[in-house]
A and B are shown apart, each in its own frame.
Chain A
Amino acid sequence: MAELLGIPAPVLFGQLLLGLINGAFYAILSLGLAVIFGLLNIINFTHGAQYMMGAFTAWMLLNHLGLGYWWALLLAPLLVGFTGILIERLLLKRLAGLDHLYGLLLTFGLALVIQGLFRNEFGSTGLPYAIPPELRGGQNLGFMFLPNYRAWVVGVSLAVCLATWLVIEKTRLGSYLRAATENPTLVQAMGIDVPRMVTLTYGFGVALAAFAGVLAAPIYQVSPLMGADLIIVVFAVVVIGGMGSILGSIVTGFGLGVIEGLTKVFWPEASSTVIFVIMAIVLLLRPAGLFGRSG
């Protein structure tokens, strides 16, 4: 059997695929973060908590209303996205035009509150959520056993990311959005309701986080702290991709998933640090990120 870098090729393929799957989560989460940053200029530190809320909403829908995974995939992003809209209207709106730091601190404080409330209600250990029956089992690919659910995660994430990118880059709505990012006053003067667009954009970014949360519920434990550490990594992904760059966040999300996956084979201890090494190198060589425009 062929070997690459001292590792049998099949094992390496397996790890690459797993990396891609993890990258799917990074991609959806960083996409939401990038969309929000692009229009609101806010680094949404509540993102991890909102991802967690998505997973918990799925759990509550199942256990209180008997609505299964597929309903959750639809309803949880809507419900959590709605809470996002409330947050934007009530709190973030007041920060318009201020330094990044304040948005970051406010959303960080919110994350603490949300995580604390969920922990008081559900405990710190978390709750089980089963894989939907349609997606149980897996395929033997020869080089590895691929659970059907993971294959689904990659597929649906790619679809959502591509759809978002298309909407933003190719539609009229997207062009307003991009224009408002560049110059909100001008777009407002053209008769477009920019504040509403900002609110809906935040809601959409939050809904993406909740969507990722529902996707994660069957494979990761549904627990109040599941998003707490993730946010720093996802934020690093956005910075590497280029702040506010949609395509950058998607490509970097998948790419870093793969790099992290490889690190887990060669130097597992460093797998959570490698992302910061890459971030430091990228920022030193290409300050605006891989896909960002320097300005």
Chain B
Amino acid sequence: MRRSLLSAGAALLALSTAPAMADFTGGKVRIGVLNDQSSLYADITGQGSVVAARMAVEDFGSKVKGTPIEVTFADHQNKPDVGSNIARQWYDTDGVDVIVDVPTSSVALAINEIAREKNKVFLVSGAATSDLTGPKCSPNTVHWTYDTWALANGTGSAIVQTGGDSWFFLTADYAFGHALERDTEAVVLKSGGKVLGKVRHPLNTADFSSYLLQAQGSKAKIIGLANAGGDTINSIKQAAEFGIVAGGQNLAGLLVFISDVHGLGLQAAQGLIFTESFYWDLNDSTRAWSKRFAERMGGRMPTMVQAGVYAAVTHYLKALDALGSDADGKAVVAKMKETPTDDPLFGKGTIRKDGRKLHPMYLFEVKKPAESKGPWDYYKLKATIPADKAFRPLAEGNCPLAQ
């Protein structure tokens, strides 16, 4: 009550100081896309996210209430200190009002704190950690596309329900791998499955044959890949080589993007099951948008992270339009939470108190080469997890904002 009075007062004050005129800091709205441009996640985020942000700005008319919108970008090289240095400089001196994307959980967590400290806005699409809407949640942050809990939940429960009730985990020995494994294991156990074993491999391992043999020896029906990027690709490729899938065991990818499937080729990736929140071929509006995106990206279809950047920026601009100001980051995010979301890629949705964007998640299976009708025709939709079931319940996240 007191808080709402206060914010009403602040709003009044803002109105009185800048009556009819819109109040945008620096006379501009600056959107900073900060992600990996040169390393592991450059295809998942990278320039594609910059293009997505630019498309959102253009589709919005390139202006909010007559104020021009700019998109700038930088490479954080997956290093938290490089990322936080850029973020501070952007917020403090370069007039950036909102930072978007930011894959790599360690960098995203660092920027989450900076945005809170400086009362700016942070829209996460690339990072996976569900801590951003859990213990580390912030009134300045919206986590858009996916998180570890949603991936684990979608893939874990769906597979157990279709009979895949014994699991072996191949886990990247890193915090995000551990989080994926922990969340998936919980879902598997809750759904009545069991975990027969797990092995943790160092990040960026080239050869997985040893681990795959251990997985094979466990006789588990499902081998859960709690890793990402090149590690996932190599484990899938080598599982095919060692006849793991032919021998009756199935692979479940816990963090797979369409760019990974493209890099693997259908021959190696076929049959893989995983969860994503976006696929270009879902409906007419995703197809239309993705076609425009691909034209600007040399034929590459968007990943869910890039789609998330588009949708998040669009919703952010709507909130600015409604507020007429970008000065107070908390107020902008509050406005974003208050307004229902609606965009061509994720459809209608909402943003929860803890900053979690809610939308359906989809369980996909990779097609066999014979089933694919053309380039980038990769996925079969197996199940849709509705928005209210797709993400961790508010009460379980330990987010201080939710209390």
State which of A22, A147, A149, A269 has its C-beta within 8 Å of the C-beta of B173.
A269
List chain A residues, Cβ under 8 A from B210: 15, 18-19, 261, 264-265, 268
Q: Could you give, for residues 241-279 of chain B, a 1 whenever the CB lies within 8 Å of some chain A CB and a 0 otherwise? A: 111000100000000000110111101100000000000
Not counting A15-B210, A124-B46, a sample of 7 additional A-B residue pairs whose C-beta atoms are within 8 angstroms of each other reads A18-B207, A22-B207, A116-B38, A126-B263, A150-B209, A269-B201, A271-B202
**Contact status B230-A126, CB under 8 Å:** yes
- Chain B residue nearest to A15 (CB atoms) is B210
A160 within 8 A of B: no
Choose, from A92-100, A177-185, A222-230, A276-284, the stretch at the interface.
A222-230
Shortest C-beta distance, A152 to chain B (Å), equals 12
**Contact status B259-A226, CB under 8 Å:** no
B11 within 8 A of A: no
How far apart are the CA atoms of A116 and B242 in the complex, in Å? 32
A105 within 8 A of B: no
**Contact status B213-A11, CB under 8 Å:** yes
**Contact status A145-B202, CB under 8 Å:** no
Chain A, interface size: which category?
35 or more
Q: Could you give, for residues 219-256 of chain A, a 1 whenever the CB lies within 8 Å of some chain B CB and a 0 otherwise? A: 11101011001100000000000000000000000000
A130 within 8 A of B: yes
**Contact status B268-A124, CB under 8 Å:** no
**Contact status B206-A124, CB under 8 Å:** no
Contacts A123-B42, A125-B233, A125-B259 known; A147 to B204 CB distance under 8 Å?
A: no
**Contact status B243-A138, CB under 8 Å:** yes
Shortest C-beta distance, B42 to chain A (Å), equals 4
Shortest C-beta distance, A88 to chain B (Å), equals 27
A131 within 8 A of B: yes
**Contact status A220-B263, CB under 8 Å:** no
**Contact status B211-A264, CB under 8 Å:** yes
List chain B residues, Cβ under 8 A from A127: 263
Q: List 13 A-B contacts (CB under 8 A).
A: A11-B217, A15-B213, A18-B207, A125-B43, A125-B230, A144-B213, A149-B241, A219-B207, A219-B237, A219-B241, A220-B234, A265-B210, A265-B214
How many contacts between A and B, using CB within 8 angstroms? 110
- Chain A residue nearest to B203 (CB atoms) is A272
List chain A residues, Cβ under 8 A from B238: 219
B40 within 8 A of A: yes
B199 within 8 A of A: yes
**Contact status A220-B237, CB under 8 Å:** yes
**Contact status B233-A131, CB under 8 Å:** no
A286 within 8 A of B: no
A14 within 8 A of B: yes
How far apart are the CA atoms of A128 and B265 in the complex, in Å? 6
Contacts A125-B233, A126-B233, A219-B237 known; A269 to B200 CB distance under 8 Å?
A: yes
- Chain B residue nearest to A19 (CB atoms) is B210
List chain B residues, Cβ under 8 A from A221: 230, 233-234, 237, 263-264
A89 within 8 A of B: no
B269-320 interface with A by 8 A CB criterion: 300
